[in-house]
Structure 1
């Protein structure tokens, strides 16, 4: 997806619920990056993702990385005055597709004025997850943590499935699994059919008396994260509890269905599916039924390990934009690109 070595630097940014991560690398070597991070998530306001708050965090972090690189210079030798260029910036942000209008309106001009960079890519976090996982090859990526979204491309257009939040979707994600586990525990608490005594025991170990759980949960503004925090308990119970095992099997079916909805069809040829996100760290209790579900719903696809994370994907996109080799489909909401027209200088 990227071209050969070049003289310039690229900046990759990953903005999500756990904060902001920034990485600087050579355009020709995006895997060799220097990184920094902030644990403060970018705010979301009435106009969507807050561009001013993102810039307030990003610009000092970017300048610090550039200053550090300028002291070392290419190949480690001194670079007096920090004389090097920032060729491209790629920013992946959670909510970019639906809440990114302000970012798309503000960031290209702001970044050019502040950092002198004219090549800017603004991407949904699912796109940077895709770029990090598959490095521009046709296929699909499933990103699952608290939520769950699947994104696929044949390199002509994007196809998205789910990612609609814990009230409308995210089926099979961490919050979905946790909620299903807590529901089964509450059925056991009531003496209703389909309950799980094992999950009830884990509920009370984690949250306290079951009858008090609604009062603890419903006032919380971070309900999806609280629900997702119970997903590992469901996974631990699955080895000896058929209710927990069934929950993970159903989650696997939902995840496979999302992947099947976005993966290029068999007529498009070879298709790879990569899994990324913290949910898959639960291991075999989820991965074994997921592999089985994928083999049924996507028999023509091959499950592969993700090559990198969303921050690596941001760098990959920035490097490709800098070298003129970006092959991922451009889209007004999924992958918005601002770049100068080719000229007689290095843009040519």
Structure 2
């Protein structure tokens, strides 16, 4: 039996469910409250061992969190009329955690942190079910339930004040001065997510259809990409409107916008410039006061490359001239591990706030 302190991080989002087991050093909880930033670099690997890398996500003196194994499920946790389906999550989480503990030779967990998309508005069932269910099944004494934006923040900046923009298909900005949280956007593809992959894709499709109609503001290169990717432009409404995954379909066209911008299409470049302004405005809306501000960018959208990043650097310099753009140290799974580690060692400094980050202490059961 391997001794030590063991924690579990969970990242439940629109692209699937990832679970990682982390180990803390024996002297955890006696730290000095400093951290270096940085993520565990753990990578979900369908049940195999992790890479043994360490999380330095400024967990408030917890020391290094070492990811020792991870499991990934490609299908997202179901969401129904009652919100996020707690039973569906538990049916995956508990066996996966038991397997990770068994392979590591570990007996029990000191803390679990669950980061879930929709926690703020759809998390009532998780709040009602998970604490006691995890106490009974895994003997968990401490549980953190967080919005996935919070675990994205913890993975990117740790427990330092600042702002994080998490952008992929959707977009949300989150900031904290360690007294409370501020958020901007994250309203979904119909009401917001301005500058996101879905927003860029929709704007690119609109420009293509303007060219198809002969209206001003159209783009011939984007129209050509629509024909290559989707077929006849007249088929777009039938292909898009009935689909439940419409945001993802819209976002799938964002790389085509970037491609056309790289090839010199000014309309496509203009779409990305507007996206950059939206991203910078969201970051500025949540960045705490003071000149020692940090902004981190995390998510797949920022792998778009220079067609987006170049105007984004300019927009951030305009809207946040005193902020330092920091490299995101890790991802939301790294953040979940860091939150669990800080909770286990009593060093969690990120603000507790309903719908954002909630913690529960439970009387553990005895596991043999």
**From 78, 96, 100, the counterpart of 1:65:** 100
Q: Who is 1:251 aligned against?
A: 275
One of 202, 210, 222 as aligned partner of 2:245: 222
Does residue 118 (structure 1) correspond to residue 141 (structure 2)? The answer is yes
Distance 1:340 1:25 in 2: 20
Confirm or deny: 8 A CA contact 1:147 1:174 kept in the other structure.
Answer: yes
Matched, 1:20 2:44: no
What corresponds to 2:53 in structure 1? none
Alignment of 1:44-123 (within 5 A): 44-70=79-105, 82=106, 84-123=107-146
Question: CA separation in 1, counterparts of 2:252 and 2:187?
Answer: 19
Of Structure 1 and Structure 2, which has the larger fraction of its residues in helix?
1
Instruction: Please state if 1:325 is matched with 2:347.
Output: yes
In structure 2, what is the Cα distance between the partners aligned to 1:305 and 1:32? Answer: 21
Residue 165 of structure 1 aligns with which residue?
A: 188
- How far is the alpha carbon of 1:214 from its aligned partner? 1.0
Give SS of 1:313's match. Answer: helix
For 2:320 and 2:73, how far apart are their aligned partners in 1?
Answer: 39
SS of 2:89's partner is: helix
Give deviations 1:183-221, integer Å, cap 9, x for gaps. 000000001111000100001000001111111111111
The DSSP-based 3-state class of the residue aligned with 1:171 is coil
Looking at structure 1, the residues matched to 305 and 119 of structure 2 have their Cα atoms a distance apart, in angstroms, of: 29
Deviation at 1:316, TM superposition (A): 0.2
1:308 maps to 2:308? no
TM-score by length of 1: 0.91
- CA offsets per residue over residues 21-71 of structure 1, 9 Å max, x none? 00001134324331111112100011100101100111111110011011x
Distance 2:251 2:153 in 1: 23
Matched, 1:139 2:174: no
What secondary structure is seen at the aligned counterpart in 1 of 2:217?
A: coil
For normalisation by structure 2, the TM-score amounts to 0.86
> Do the aligned partners of 1:27 and 1:322 also contact (CA within 8 Å) in 2?
no
1:86 CA drift (Å) = 0.6
Specify the alignment match of 2:265 in structure 1. Answer: 241
2: CA distance, partners of 1:190 / 1:205:
18
Moved more, 244-253 or 26-35: 26-35
> Alignment partner of 1:238: what SS?
helix
Residue 260 of structure 1 pairs with residue 284 of structure 2? yes
Q: Give every structure 1 segment of 4 or more consecutive aligned residues whose post-TM-superposition deviation is greater than 6 Å.
A: none
In the alignment, the residues of structure 2 paired with residue 20 and residue 229 of structure 1 have an alpha-carbon distance, to the nearest angstrom, of 21
Q: Is the 8 A contact 1:98 1:333 kept in 2?
A: yes
CA RMSD of aligned residues (A): 1.2
Aligned position for 1:270: 292
Q: 2:213 aligns with which of 187, 190, 215?
A: 190
- The whole-number CA distance in structure 2 between the counterparts of 1:142 and 1:202 is 29
Aligned to 2:231: 208
In the alignment, the residues of structure 1 paired with residue 68 and residue 220 of structure 2 have an alpha-carbon distance, to the nearest angstrom, of 48
Q: Quick check: 1:42 aligned with 2:77?
A: yes
Aligned to 1:292: 314
SS at 2:321 equivalent: coil
Identify unmatched segments of 5+ residues in structure 2. 26-63, 364-368
1:340 Cα deviation from its structure 2 partner: 4.9
